[in-house]
Structure 1
Amino acid sequence: MSILEAILQGIVQGLTEFLPVSSSGHVSLVQHFLGVDLEGAQTFTLFLHFGTLLAVFLVYRKLIWDLICEGCRAIADLFLDIVDLFRKGKGKFKPRFTLKMDRINDDRRMVFAVILASACAILLFLPLFGGLGLTDTAGEEVKTLADVSGYTSEDRDIVVEGICLLGTGVLLLAATSIANRRRNSAVKARGYVDYKTAAVMGVGQCFAAMPGLSRSGTTTTLGMICGTEKNAALQFSFIMSIPAVLAANVLEVVKMDSAGWAEFEAVPTILGIVVAAVSGVLAIAGLKWIVSNDKLNYFGYYCLVVGAIIVAIGIAEHASGVYGADFFRVLFGGEVAQPVAGPNPNFQL
């Protein structure tokens, strides 16, 4: 991978990870049209996520530290309650620890909500009912939602990315409409994420593993739809991403075999991580302004337009049997350097 390709993918990852347009979808499309080797690209993309995680830590470092401290205090309260229960008995026991959101402070509310949202990540690894009858490039059967995400990222079919971008666009426009109606009504949005909303946002984060479905866009809009104030929903969306994204990427690094490490290129990867972190910080600042000024609908229109274009290109690629950069060479009268196989046998309209 060249330095220029690493910088370009780092910028795309950093900006689109936080802007509500899907980082995985855009990085997948960039790799598709640049003709980047998919095995090497998967390793590189995996490490880019550490750059965007670094951006979240940099922007929310004080809040993250406060949440860690509050989580430790909650554990201490629970431990002291257990000790007091045995010492004083049930009659004289006055608990310090409670799960009731109306009786705890803002930091503890967020800690409990993040734990619940993160627990929803188990949905990624539950077997899909009936299976899909698909196998990935390693010959493994696609059984779970996590497998589906990996399968759609590593094949040449960009139609899925296009459809997911259309879904992101619909969600963004729906959330903007609901927020506008709520602002003009007597019903006020909550200033924090409750348990029900945390669960809904957690489930949304699982489905946002699909390339083309924006994680930040999906979770923030679901929070707004469930009645959470827009800035509170956005902040929670960033914080809830830390445990799930960190755990998923550390697990992938641990699982990497010798072939995966053979594709690892130190200089482009480190450069990509740094670029992703810097562009990620800028994207977070931009998204805060966008949400505060009710501009999410513009990204909704963007996702609808780009999604429709990608679906059209994907269908044309399948019809011609020519993919990625070669498709545009042929489209403008050039020749294919390396003939490729026909359409994906698993593709169906």
Structure 2
Amino acid sequence: MTTLEAIFLGIVQGMTEFLPVSSSGHLVLTQNLLGWQEPNLAFNIWLHFSTLLAIVLFFWKDWRGLSKKEWLVILVGSIPAAVVGVFFADVIETWFGSTKLVAAALVVTGLFNLKTNTVLRKQNAVNHQLEVGFRRGFIIGLFQALAIIPGVSRSGSTVFAGITQGLDRIKAFKFSFFLSLPAILGASLLQLIKVWNQGTQQSISPSYFFAGLTAFMTGLASLYIFEFVIKKARIDWFGWYCLSLGIAYLVIF
């Protein structure tokens, strides 16, 4: 992998990891369209930790202000993704190895975003009184588990679940990314275990540093963009984008 390829993939990862457009789906389709080989696991782990750092920094004040109950709600909401990741990740990876299925999943993500935007436009002050709680947190976690399917956006599905359960846009936005912390850590841990079990040496090149830096910087930028978009109730931009991209790929390829 050249340095330019690594930087480009870092940008794709950083922008699409947090925006409701599916980073895994974009990476799969990008590599397929450009004919690039899939990066090794060490590269994927490095990108995950780079975007994880962006989440920690962006929500730093929020992390410090969370109560014990809120941490427990995050833990409960993380259970579905943990179960699916540990027991079904390899099966799902095999089933959804086709780029056609990834494109179809992008269409689903687009529909999630469009529905979210419709609900956002109808929100009123009553929604601001609702808290996440254990039940809502677990349901949002179920939607996060769907994101193990390449093409289904983690942020898109969890914000959809939060908004349609009556949470106001900022609470849904924040809880979505609170859940992402253990999810990304868990996914990285599973990949580390896979590297260990394979017993093969993973090559690490200097280009990884530039990929990680661009993933971190674009990740931070995408968080600010998503926060702005959700405040303005314009998630439909991403909805139409995912819908168009998914359908175009299905028709053309």
Which TM-score applies when normalising by structure 2? 0.91
Q: Mind listing any 5+ residue stretches in structure 1 that lack a counterpart?
A: 68-106, 128-143, 315-349
Given the superposition, is the C-alpha separation of residues 9 and 152 from structure 1 closer, same or farther in structure 2, using an over 3 Å criterion?
Answer: farther
Aligned length: 253
Partner of 2:46: 47
Equivalent of 2:77 in 117, 129, 139 = 117
Identity %: 32
Equivalent of 1:202 in 141, 156, 160 = 141
Equivalent-residue separation in structure 2 for 1:110 and 1:234 (angstroms):
15
Equivalent-residue separation in structure 2 for 1:188 and 1:108 (angstroms):
23
> Is 1:12 the counterpart of 2:37 in the alignment?
no
Partner of 2:209: 270
Letter in 2 for 1:54: L
Partner of 2:116: 175
Residue 253 of structure 1, CA deviation: 1.1
- Secondary structure of the 1:266 match is coil
Structure 1 stretches (4+) deviating beyond 4 angstroms? 257-261
1:15-53 alpha-carbon deviations (Å, 9 max, x no partner)? 001111001110111111222223x34442232111110
Residue 122 of structure 1, CA deviation: 3.8
Residue 259 of structure 1, CA deviation: 6.2
Equivalent-residue separation in structure 2 for 1:151 and 1:46 (angstroms):
20
Give the 5 Å matches for 1:79-90.
none
Whether the 8 Å contact between 1:31 and 1:41 is mirrored in structure 2 is: no
1:237-272 alpha-carbon deviations (Å, 9 max, x no partner)? 111110121022123113304868544323122221
Letter in 2 for 1:181: K
> Is 1:308 the counterpart of 2:247 in the alignment?
yes
Equivalent-residue separation in structure 2 for 1:5 and 1:289 (angstroms):
30
Equivalent-residue separation in structure 2 for 1:26 and 1:301 (angstroms):
15
Whether the 8 Å contact between 2:110 and 2:242 is mirrored in structure 1 is: yes
Equivalent-residue separation in structure 2 for 1:117 and 1:302 (angstroms):
28
Equivalent-residue separation in structure 1 for 2:12 and 2:134 (angstroms):
33
Letter in 2 for 1:59: F
Letter in 2 for 1:274: L
RMSD between aligned residues: 2.1
- Secondary structure of the 2:127 match is coil
Residue 187 of structure 1, CA deviation: 4.4
Partner of 2:181: 242
Equivalent-residue separation in structure 2 for 1:65 and 1:211 (angstroms):
32
Whether the 8 Å contact between 2:21 and 2:242 is mirrored in structure 1 is: yes
Equivalent-residue separation in structure 1 for 2:222 and 2:119 (angstroms):
24
1:75-127 alpha-carbon deviations (Å, 9 max, x no partner)? xxxxxxxxxxxxxxxxxxxxxxxxxxxxxxxx344212101101222430576
Letter in 1 for 2:52: L
Equivalent of 1:150 in 93, 102, 121 = 93
Equivalent-residue separation in structure 1 for 2:104 and 2:191 (angstroms):
26
**Higher helix fraction: Structure 1 or Structure 2?**
2
Q: Mind listing any 5+ residue stretches in structure 2 that lack a counterpart?
A: none
- Secondary structure of the 2:36 match is coil
Letter in 2 for 1:256: V
Equivalent-residue separation in structure 2 for 1:196 and 1:250 (angstroms):
27
Letter in 2 for 1:150: E
Whether the 8 Å contact between 1:166 and 1:308 is mirrored in structure 2 is: yes
Residue 280 of structure 1, CA deviation: 0.3
Equivalent-residue separation in structure 1 for 2:249 and 2:45 (angstroms):
23
Between structure 1 and structure 2, the one with the greater Rg is 1
Larger RCO, structure (CA 8 Å, separation 6 or more):
2
Letter in 2 for 1:163: A
